[in-house]
Structure 1
Amino acid sequence: MIATVSPARDLDQDEVLKLRQEGVILPLEQFIEEALGRYPGSKLLEAELEEKHDVLVYEIELLTADHVVRELKFDARDCRLLQDKEDD
């Protein structure tokens, strides 16, 4: 038996737009506001939508006021925080 690893797949903007229009995912702005609200004074570095293990995940990277890079991952369907960690 061979185990396969399913790497995360970044979605392109056309795919994201279609998912948003169909109501499958919530708007990116909502996730950015949530992430920035957790770390007042932080700055957005990057935001992307990935599909990992059949789950659509918004990955938000912030630079906090303390100059720490944080990576937050949210379920794109319901804004549930999946991970909040210091990025290397």
Structure 2
Amino acid sequence: MFIALLCVCSLSSVADDISQDEALQLRQQGAILSFASLLETLEQRYPQGRVLEVELERDDGLLIYEIEVLTRDQVVREIEMDARTGQVLDDERDD
């Protein structure tokens, strides 16, 4: 079972942050997928993983979910997913 510990939409210094209010508007307009809909992909990649943090950002014109996951092997992964399609854009070990 995949456990989400904390979901936050903001706090990035590299890309433009999306506020929680704007994220809600984008979701209601159908412009982005809900984070809940992406959990299945995360669970397939990292069974028994735990979501540590989620940020929604605008980077180079794309809306991106940046997700930190603690794997069952106790490794923190940083995964970037296209918020419109759910496609995994990047998946790397977080230092």
Does TM-score exceed 0.5, indicating one fold?
yes
Name the aligned partner's letter for residue 76 of structure 2. Answer: V
2:15 maps to 8
2:72 maps to 65
Q: For the residues of structure 1 that align with 2:65 and 2:40, how far apart are their CA atoms?
A: 12
2:43 maps to 36
2:83 maps to 76
2:56 maps to 49
2:28 maps to 21
Q: CA RMSD in A?
A: 1.0
- Structure 2: runs of 5 or more not aligned: 1-13
Question: Larger C-alpha radius of gyration, 1 or 2?
Answer: 1
| SS of equivalent residue, structure 1 residue 73 | strand
Deviation (angstroms), 1:16: 0.2
TM-score under structure 2 length normalisation: 0.81
Q: Runs of 4+ in structure 1 displaced over 3 angstroms?
A: none
Query: What is the identity percentage for the equivalent residue pairs of Structure 1 and Structure 2?
Result: 49
| SS of equivalent residue, structure 1 residue 29 | helix
Number of residue equivalences:
82
Does structure 2 conserve the Cα–Cα contact (< 8 Å) formed by 1:44 and 1:61?
yes
Structure with higher RCO (Cα < 8 A, 6+ apart): 2
Name the aligned partner's letter for residue 45 of structure 2. Answer: R
- Structure 1: runs of 5 or more not aligned: 1-6
Q: For the residues of structure 2 that align with 1:70 and 1:57, how far apart are their CA atoms?
A: 16
Deviation (angstroms), 1:83: 0.3
Q: For the residues of structure 1 that align with 2:93 and 2:52, how far apart are their CA atoms?
A: 13
| SS of equivalent residue, structure 1 residue 17 | helix
